[in-house]
Amino acid sequence: MVREKEQTIILKKQPRIIGSYSIVGPKEGKGNFGRYFDYVMKDDSFGENTFEKAERKMLESAITGVIEKAKLSTKDINLMIAGDLLNQIISSSYAARMYPFPFLGVYGACSTMAESIAVASVLIDGGYFDNVVCCTGSHFSTAERQYRFPLELGNQRPPTSQWTITGAGSCILSLKGEGPRVTMVTFGKVIDWGVSDVNNMGAAMAPAVRDTLLRHFAATKTKPDDYDLILTGDLGKLGSEILIDLMDDEGVTLGANYGDCGQMYFKRQQKTLCGGSGAGCCATIFNSYIMQKLREKQYKKILFLPTGALLSTTSTQQGDTIPSVCHAIVIEA
């Protein structure tokens, strides 16, 4: 059922997340969630000769890993929905050639994980697919050279910058089997409040979260306290402070149950300034720590809101502002 005004979908069949898998780089493995990840790579190149190939291999092992973990075979999968940060989402498409099932490429920058889960649950709810694999990843070294500077350049990172996560997360959605249920989906509008600083993505994305959150609360008649956890993707330290202020202005208080993946990702001494970012950021935390807590019923109902900054290097060089999007999904144990 879609509530026209607020564009929120309340799923009838409530697809279950029957398996999840996460793979991260060595720096991420030393972070706060190190012990929850399924696989920590020994080095960022993952035995490949380019970082692009490493990212591809990371996505491949996430997909293969989750299928094995859910005790399924590739024959059981009807569709794969995946995305990443590289131009023309090559990591996902190239990873998809390995598999015998159809592929749907999605791009929502760092919000891709929620976008793929949202699309998958709607498709399953509509009765068209049984088992759908969702996968998202990013790699520090490939993102850095595509969006910023060569790795060897001796420059300093501004205090508002965030660290792109090297990692990939994947999950399988299905009507059969055990696992947390996806119950609601709110697709995001593209919001642009005129921020153009590429080193301050959190500030650019916070208004998108505000919009999606407000629409979601209005449509579902819920309030922040109804959720055990409200988790944004990669607003970072600064961005999540901004979001709290923005929501405060609207009379909604985000309290202790609010968290941000990017902010939580690294330990303080890892010097990542405003925290983690990238498509792999919320994907890896969601498919490891969060899923585990949901399975253990420590969290009963969570609101997951990854955000994406929809910019490219061209738009940046032409002085454009940064449009952002935020998709919300509700998951109940």
Residues at the contact surface with another protein, assessed by CB under 8 A: 27, 43-45, 49-52, 140-141, 144-145, 149-160, 193-195, 197, 199-200, 203, 207, 238, 241-242, 245
- What is the C-alpha to C-alpha distance for residues 270 and 308, in angstroms, rounded to an integer? 24
- What is the C-alpha to C-alpha distance for residues 166 and 276, in angstroms, rounded to an integer? 10
Q: Which is nearer to another protein, 61 or 240 (CB)?
A: 240
- What is the C-alpha to C-alpha distance for residues 27 and 291, in angstroms, rounded to an integer? 22
Least distance (Å) between residue 127 CB and another protein: 41
Least distance (Å) between residue 258 CB and another protein: 17
Least distance (Å) between residue 16 CB and another protein: 37
Q: What token pair was written down for 326?
A: 């935020």
Least distance (Å) between residue 226 CB and another protein: 28
Least distance (Å) between residue 202 CB and another protein: 9
Amino acid at 204: A
Residues 171 and 208: beta-carbon distance below 8 Å: no
Residue 276: partners with Cβ closer than 8 Å, 6 or more residues away: 28, 31, 162, 163, 164, 165, 234, 236, 261, 262, 265, 266
Least distance (Å) between residue 308 CB and another protein: 19
Q: Which is nearer to another protein, 155 or 318 (CB)?
A: 155
Q: Which is nearer to another protein, 15 or 323 (CB)?
A: 323
Q: Which is nearer to another protein, 46 or 227 (CB)?
A: 46
Least distance (Å) between residue 193 CB and another protein: 5
Q: What token pair was written down for 292?
A: 């585990």
- What is the C-alpha to C-alpha distance for residues 238 and 233, in angstroms, rounded to an integer? 13
Least distance (Å) between residue 157 CB and another protein: 8
- What is the C-alpha to C-alpha distance for residues 139 and 184, in angstroms, rounded to an integer? 30
Q: Which is nearer to another protein, 116 or 164 (CB)?
A: 164
Q: Which is nearer to another protein, 207 or 308 (CB)?
A: 207
Q: Which is nearer to another protein, 93 or 270 (CB)?
A: 270
Q: Which is nearer to another protein, 61 or 164 (CB)?
A: 164
